[in-house]
């Protein structure tokens, strides 16, 4: 553990370390139930019900009211319901480059194969962006979307790509997105309430004094919710890692996780290539990954153990995720991506990868 500056930071790190170890051990032993998730759902449900209660109250006053004062209260309740409404919808990222399924049949078929193995419907949309990451998210009410970060995609080998898809689609199969929408929507709603109760600088001291207690109450509620949800979220990540190993094989899942230990090195390599303009970013990333030998992997793992933990982190430390995969029964690859299919996939999305890397290069060269 790196040196910390305050007692609160040391306490936070120690508690987080104990929680992470318990979560990893429970997942490794096959446990699936999460008390933290049940508590989170219990905490967020009243947040979602508040607007419903306000709407029902306003409707009753509008229907049964027989005077202007009751209708005025109904109008006020409607206004309050609108101001405090749940914020459930995620806006689509405008930087994602969506793939036309007709142009990428091999990629679509691979995603469908992984989804069938996981026992869920495949994502309705597949996209590419410039992040060193990959993610799944909601698309409307029932559909899902999968976004592949170009830097991460080119850094991974064929089976590591399958393991990555297994991880992301594992989130869909386990219902993590539905819970994420429900919990995340309540968190965004509470955050919205906090901003509503934050007076402008020019407001009087009396206004600040009136709004301070309810704002502190909502902030405390939100912090408790985030702390509990982070434990549930870390558990979900570990289950997705198990799905990754079952799909692409344990060796590929471990190798893919080790890649997360050198994200800074990948970022630096791409940044240097963008500034120098002497080599394209994809080539620079592949060269950096090729140089990531056994000795560097061991060193990166050791450095990863020194990363400071936090109880509000949504992902377990990479070293704990590796400990989980290496402590359970090794799995062979259930889905194999041979070299020919891998090359076809790269050719199908080459235009999207090139555009994503151009955007990333512009970011490196002109970031302020």
Let me know if residue 8 belongs to a domain: no
Let me know if residue 255 belongs to a domain: yes
Do residues 119 and 261 share a domain?
Answer: yes
Which domain range does residue 323 map to?
A: 98-366
Q: How many of the other CB atoms lie within 10 Å of CB of 331?
A: 18
Let me know if residue 355 belongs to a domain: yes
Do residues 254 and 361 share a domain?
Answer: yes
Do residues 82 and 105 share a domain?
Answer: no
* Rounded Cα gap, residues 292 and 265, in angstroms: 10
* Residue after which a domain boundary falls, among 86, 120, 150: 86
* Rounded Cα gap, residues 109 and 121, in angstroms: 12
Do residues 60 and 121 share a domain?
Answer: no
pLDDT of 77 strictly over 60: yes
pLDDT tens-digit series, residues 287-314:
998 888 777 777 777 777 766 667 667 7
Let me know if residue 5 belongs to a domain: no
Do residues 81 and 167 share a domain?
Answer: no
Do residues 129 and 155 share a domain?
Answer: yes
* Rounded Cα gap, residues 13 and 7, in angstroms: 10
The whole-number pLDDT of residue 89 equals 55
pLDDT tier, 148 (very low <50, low <70, confident <90, very high otherwise): very high
Do residues 81 and 104 share a domain?
Answer: no
Do residues 233 and 299 share a domain?
Answer: yes
* Residue after which a domain boundary falls, among 18, 53, 86: 86
Do residues 146 and 242 share a domain?
Answer: yes
* Residue after which a domain boundary falls, among 64, 86, 108: 86
The whole-number pLDDT of residue 308 equals 67
In the chain, the percentage of residues whose pLDDT exceeds 90 is: 35
Let me know if residue 3 belongs to a domain: no
Do residues 271 and 352 share a domain?
Answer: yes
| Residue listed under structure tokens 């001291």 | 205
pLDDT tier, 202 (very low <50, low <70, confident <90, very high otherwise): low
pLDDT tier, 90 (very low <50, low <70, confident <90, very high otherwise): low
The answer to whether the beta carbons of residues 297 and 261 sit under 8 Å apart is yes
Let me know if residue 91 belongs to a domain: no
The whole-number pLDDT of residue 368 equals 44
Let me know if residue 267 belongs to a domain: yes
Q: Which of 63-77, 207-221, 342-356 has the lowest mean pLDDT?
A: 63-77
Q: How many domains does the chain have?
A: 2
Distances (CA, A) of 124 to 56, 100, 144, 159: 36, 11, 6, 23
Do residues 272 and 211 share a domain?
Answer: yes
Do residues 80 and 108 share a domain?
Answer: no
Mean per-residue pLDDT, 65-81: 79
The whole-number pLDDT of residue 67 equals 74
Let me know if residue 18 belongs to a domain: no
The answer to whether the beta carbons of residues 235 and 243 sit under 8 Å apart is no
| Residue listed under structure tokens 């289950």 | 239
């Amino acid at each position: 553990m790196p040196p910390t500056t305050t007692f609160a930071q040391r306490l936070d790190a120690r508690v987080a370390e104990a929680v992470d170890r318990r979560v990893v051990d429970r997942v490794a032993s096959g446990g699936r139930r999460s008390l933290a998730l049940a508590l989170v759902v219990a905490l967020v449900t009243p947040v979602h019900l508040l607007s419903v209660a306000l709407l029902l109250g306003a409707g009753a006053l509008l229907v049964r009211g027989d005077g202007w004062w009751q209708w005025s209260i109904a109008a006020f309740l409607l206004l309050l319901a609108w101001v405090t409404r749940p914020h459930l919808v995620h806006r689509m990222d405008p930087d994602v480059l969506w793939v036309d399924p007709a142009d990428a049949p091999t990629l679509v078929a691979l995603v469908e194969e992984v989804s069938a193995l996981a026992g869920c419907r495949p994502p309705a949309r597949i996209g590419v962006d410039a992040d060193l990451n990959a993610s799944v998210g909601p698309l409307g009410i029932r559909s899902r979307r999968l976004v592949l970060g170009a830097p991460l995609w080119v850094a991974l080998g064929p089976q590591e790509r399958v393991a990555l898809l297994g991880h992301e689609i594992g989130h869909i199969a386990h219902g993590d997105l539905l819970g994420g929408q429900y919990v995340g929507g309540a968190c965004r709603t509470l955050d919205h309430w906090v901003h509503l109760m934050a007076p402008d600088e020019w407001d009087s001291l009396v206004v600040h004094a009136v709004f301070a207690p309810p704002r502190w109450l909502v902030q405390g509620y939100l912090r408790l919710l985030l702390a509990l949800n982070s434990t549930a979220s870390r558990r979900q990540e570990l289950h997705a890692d198990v799905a990754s190993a079952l799909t692409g094989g344990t060796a590929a899942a471990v190798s893919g996780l080790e890649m997360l230990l050198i994200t800074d090195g990948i970022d630096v390599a791409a940044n240097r290539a963008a500034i120098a303009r002497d080599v394209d970013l994809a080539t620079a990333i592949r060269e950096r990954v090729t140089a990531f030998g056994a000795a560097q992997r061991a060193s990166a793992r050791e450095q990863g153990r020194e990363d400071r933990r936090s109880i509000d982190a949504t992902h377990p430390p990479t070293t704990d995720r590796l400990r989980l995969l290496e402590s359970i029964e090794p799995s062979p690859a259930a889905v194999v991506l041979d070299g020919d299919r891998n090359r076809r996939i790269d050719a199908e999305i080459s235009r999207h990868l090139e555009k994503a890397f151009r955007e990333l290069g512009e970011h490196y060269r002109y970031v302020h």
